[in-house]
Structure 1
Amino acid sequence: MAASLKLSPSSSPPLLLNPKSRSSPHLLKPFPSPPLSSPRFSSLKRSNLFDRRGLGLLVHAVKNDGGMDPRSPAPEYQSGGESTMPERFRYLTREAPDRPVRWPWVIALFFLVYCWRTVLWELSNWKKAALAILHFFGYLSKLALAFVFHFIGDPITGFIRIIESSLYLVRDIYFSIIAFAPVPELTRIILFASTILAIGEATVPDSVNSQPYLLTLAGIIGFGAVKGVILEPFFWLFLVGIFCFSRFIKKRESTSAALPSAAVLAAIGEPWVRGLTMVSYLALAIVQNSKSSEEAVNVEVSLKQRKLPLPLLLAALSIGIHVAAKWIRYRHLRWMIA
């Protein structure tokens, strides 16, 4: 039976070319064909197909009864899944790489854009969050302040009102000095008060430096009387109280004890009050000087530093500020005109 079969040239066993050894013809190996006497291969037709992708020669069996078209590609190239080629033939071929899948990048790009948009939105809301936190702490501070004011609110309110009134008073005094400072009257005050101080210092040395607080208090009383804050009876009562305190408590001479009251009367009094005060104080100083012994008069008193009374210093400063503001205003107008 095997002798009666004739082999056609096309049915000779094909030669498979290994892709790695195309340039070596001596490496060609004949493919072992199955025995022709087997009834399993009696109805098969061998055909050689050339791989279009350049992967070498592929040999596969196809049924003649119409199971598969011989011109169709091999089953391992029809789908992207696992190859159906037997293991013993896989060394003859190379697996073709699948096409890159691009749609996962689109999904990743979508999520990246969404996350970045969310981050931008959160960054745009950080100011609102910070303001909300600050408002919350503001409400807490208001609650604590209300709790404190519930117990000691009245003293705190009174203290705040005193501070506010003081600030308004200082501002009014400053603007009144710049705009409406009575320079001639302040000059007369400095002149008459300095005359009284000079008489007292000549009679009793160190009488000015020994009582700076009483001189300052007398100046404040005089300023309050000029502004109308202190009534005239209280004004005279305060002056008598200052004299008694200095004469009987501090045990000073009559000239030194009467120095603050005489300086205030000479500074802010009427013209006849000023004249009467200066004449009376000068007579008191002469009488006290005549009663003192020659040894006490000839004693030299060394003064290291003479301090100017604060009321006279403030009056001189007011004159300087007013004159400086007037000069600056004048020069400014000249510059604007020029």
Structure 2
Amino acid sequence: MNKPELIGIHHVTAMTNDAVRNYKFFTEILGMRLVKKTVNQDDIYTYHTFFADDQGSAGTDMTFFDFPNNPKGSRGTNSISRAAFRVPNDAALDYYLDRFEQFGVKHNGIQELFGKKVLPFEEEDGQRYQLISDELNEGVKPGIPWKNGPVPEDKAIYGLGPIEITVSYYDDFKTVLQEVYGMTPIIEEEDVTLLNVGEGGNGGQVILRKDDQGPEARQGYGEVHHVSFRLKDHDAIKAWEEKYKEARIGNSGIVDRFYFEALYARIGHILIEVSTDGPGFMGDEPYETLGESLALPPFLEEKRDFIESEIKPFDTTRNHN
């Protein structure tokens, strides 16, 4: 049977306690483009925002659910513990370090991780991220920096970096990543493994950490909801549905999210999605005004008036001078 390989990371979805603050943080400080402002298709009373590269390319988007009554999450094991973003080189990290100082962003300074330079930082709600330098990187190609963003194109974030997962059942989880998801360990140290996904490199890697002593994480704002890995097309995701069935891994079945097709499976505590690269975010809005109005997939369009009456509007129009 055809078993298409994963290409790399598709997107990471986290939870915020304030869609407006989160929007300003991602666009005005990080310099990522809001490419879609829509609602959570499974909970239409809440926003789902997508921040990505200039054109919303697969492998570049960090997305957020805004659950207004969600409690704050708590850090711990058995969770997706950190998302990352790619920048072109080490000089870009220096640029962002100065920028974080300017904007009062909590950070841990530039460090080294598996031979790459990184800059760990946090959002106000405690969500953890890091920038990673592509200085010596090979593998999954990056996206396109936001052309009209506040960060110079030669310094700007242009893709997702390695996703960090921390679990207590480290060996078992690593086996599943290898045998089911086809990941390849490339660096193994005590209680941490770096695995390549698909073409590998910063846009196709998982950092798996062991923590069997600490408390278990609790879902809520400031925590990651799920990670998604890239598949080429419908045939590929259909083959993955069969693969899950053969492996007796419970899953959602294929879900049409309009912007991509998705398939969800929970491995231990970790919600893993595989998603198609297309059709993408450019089909229902002009490039120039991506993310400026509330976008709804066709099956929700008939409920637009109701949805707009229920969710608190916020202005995402940009200056087009």
Structure in which a larger fraction of residues adopt helix:
1
Give yes or no for TM over 0.5.
Answer: no
Structure in which a larger fraction of residues adopt strand:
2
Considering only CA atoms, is the larger Rg found in Structure 1 or Structure 2?
1
TM normalised by structure 2 equals: 0.19
Task: Say which structure, 1 or 2, has more relative contact order (CA 8 Å, 6+ apart).
Answer: 2
